[in-house]
C-alpha cells in the first residue's frame, strides 16, 4: 500500500527535479503496489498525473475530536497569557516555518491594514505558531523576523509561539478569533480542518488542497494565493463582520464533522483493504488452478 504525505507541485518539471517525487513516480509507473490511498483530490490527481493506475482510493483524514474541541476555559487562559484585551482580534497562523506556507504574505497583509483601516490595525494581534523543522526554516524564519521589524510589527506579531507543538494547538485554536492559512501549496490543509473542529473561522489561500475543502463565504473564506492586498482586505472584513464570521465558523464545523471524521476514515480504509485482499485471493486461486 502506498500513501504520500508530500505537497504536490505545479508542473512535471518540478516533480522530476525532486528526488523524492521522482522515486514516487517510479513506483507508480512500474506498478510496485497493491493499492494507493490518496488523502485529498490533489494527491489523487497527482498520482494519476505521475502514471499511477487503479486501484486508487480517495479517503479523507478524520480529525480527532478528543484532541481538537471547543474549550472556553482554554480560550480565556491563553488570551490572558498573551496579554490580550477583551476586544483584541487574535489571528492565528498555525503553519510551520516553511517558505511554501506563505507566512510572509500574512505579515505583508498585516502591514497593509495600517493604511486600509487604522482602527482595525490597532486591535489585531497575530500569533504564528509554526515550528522550524529544517535548515531552510532558519533562513525563512530570519526573513520573517526582518519583515516584522521592517514594518514595525513587533508589538503585534508573535513568531514561533511555543513552537506550535501539536499538543498545544487546541488551546491556540480556542484562543483565536480567526485562523489564517496563507499557503502557496498544500496537499489538503489539516490545520484548516482542526480549526473547523474547534468552531473557528478559517481564511485560507485558494491554492490546491485548501480550495478543495473551503468554499468562500460558506464554510470558510478564501483569498487569491500570494496576494497580500486581498488578504488584508479580507482580514478587515472579518473584523468588521463578526456575526457573519461566526455563522461561517459553525458551517465549517458541520462540514468537517460530516466529512472528515475518524469512524468514516476507518470504515473506508477497511473496505479498501478487504477489496484488495479479495482481488489477491482470486489471483492466487487462478494461479493454483493453472
Cα–Cα distance for residue pair 246/65, rounded to 1 Å: 20
Whether 48 and 114 share a structural domain: no
Whether 135 and 33 share a structural domain: no
**pLDDT tens digits along 44-73:** 999 999 999 999 999 999 999 889 999 999
Percent with pLDDT over 70 in the chain: 94
Whether 110 and 183 share a structural domain: yes
pLDDT > 70? residue 164: no
Task: Give how many domains the chain has, as a whole number.
Answer: 2
pLDDT of residue 258: 93
pLDDT > 60? residue 290: no
pLDDT of residue 215: 95
Tell me which residue of 208, 84, 215, 57 sits closest to 158, measured CA to CA.
84
pLDDT > 80? residue 12: no
User: Helix crossing, 228-240 with 103-116: angle to 10°?
Assistant: 60
pLDDT of residue 6: 84
6-20, 26-40, 118-132: segment of lowest average pLDDT: 6-20
Tell me which residue of 127, 134, 82 sits closest to 107, measured CA to CA.
127
pLDDT of residue 16: 79
pLDDT of residue 77: 94
Cα–Cα distance for residue pair 273/270, rounded to 1 Å: 5
**pLDDT tens digits along 261-289:** 999 999 999 999 999 999 888 888 876 65
Q: Specify if 277 maps to a domain.
A: no
Of 13, 35, 59, which closes a domain? 59
pLDDT of residue 163: 52
Cα–Cα distance for residue pair 217/88, rounded to 1 Å: 23
Residue 233: give its domain's CATH number. 3.40.50.2000
| Cα four-point dihedral sign 114, 115, 116, 119 | positive
**pLDDT tens digits along 94-153:** 988 889 999 999 999 999 999 999 999 999 999 998 776 667 788 899 999 999 999 999
pLDDT, averaged across the chain: 91
Q: Specify if 66 maps to a domain.
A: no
pLDDT > 90? residue 85: yes
Whether 51 and 78 share a structural domain: no
Amino acid at each position: 500500500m502506498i500513501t504520500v504525505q508530500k505537497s504536490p507541485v505545479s508542473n512535471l518539471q518540478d516533480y522530476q527535479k525532486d528526488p523524492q517525487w521522482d522515486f514516487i513516480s517510479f513506483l507508480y509507473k512500474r506498478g510496485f503496489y497493491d493499492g494507493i490511498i490518496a488523502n485529498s483530490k490533489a494527491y489523487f490527481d497527482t498520482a494519476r498525473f505521475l502514471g499511477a493506475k487503479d486501484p486508487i482510493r480517495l479517503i479523507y483524514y478524520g480529525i480527532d475530536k478528543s484532541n481538537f474541541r471547543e474549550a472556553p476555559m482554554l480560550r480565556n487562559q491563553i488570551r490572558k497569557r498573551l496579554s490580550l484585551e477583551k476586544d483584541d482580534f487574535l489571528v492565528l497562523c498555525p503553519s510551520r516555518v516553511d517558505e511554501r506556507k506563505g507566512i510572509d504574505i500574512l505579515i505583508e497583509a498585516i502591514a497593509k491594514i495600517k493604511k486600509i483601516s487604522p482602527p482595525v490595525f490597532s486591535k489585531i494581534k497575530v500569533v504564528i505558531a509554526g515550528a522550524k523543522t529544517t535548515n531552510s526554516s532558519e533562513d525563512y524564519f530570519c526573513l520573517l523576523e526582518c519583515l516584522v521589524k521592517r514594518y514595525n510589527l513587533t508589538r503585534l506579531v508573535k513568531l514561533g509561539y511555543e513552537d506550535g507543538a501539536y499538543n498545544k494547538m487546541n488551546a491556540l485554536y480556542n484562543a483565536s478569533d480567526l485562523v489564517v492559512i496563507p499557503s502557496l501549496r498544500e496537499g489538503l490543509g489539516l490545520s484548516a480542518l482542526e480549526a473547523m473542529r474547534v468552531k473557528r473561522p478559517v481564511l485560507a489561500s485558494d491554492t490546491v488542497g485548501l480550495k478543495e475543502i473551503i468554499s468562500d463565504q460558506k464554510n470558510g473564506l478564501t483569498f487569491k494565493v500570494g496576494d497580500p492586498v486581498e488578504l488584508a482586505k479580507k482580514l478587515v472584513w472579518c473584523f468588521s463582520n463578526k456575526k457573519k464570521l461566526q455563522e461561517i465558523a459553525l458551517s465549517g464545523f458541520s462540514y468537517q464533522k460530516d466529512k472528515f471524521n475518524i469512524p468514516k476514515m476507518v470504515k473506508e480504509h477497511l473496505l479498501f483493504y478487504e477489496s484488495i485482499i479479495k482481488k489477491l485471493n482470486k489471483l492466487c486461486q487462478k494461479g493454483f488452478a493453472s
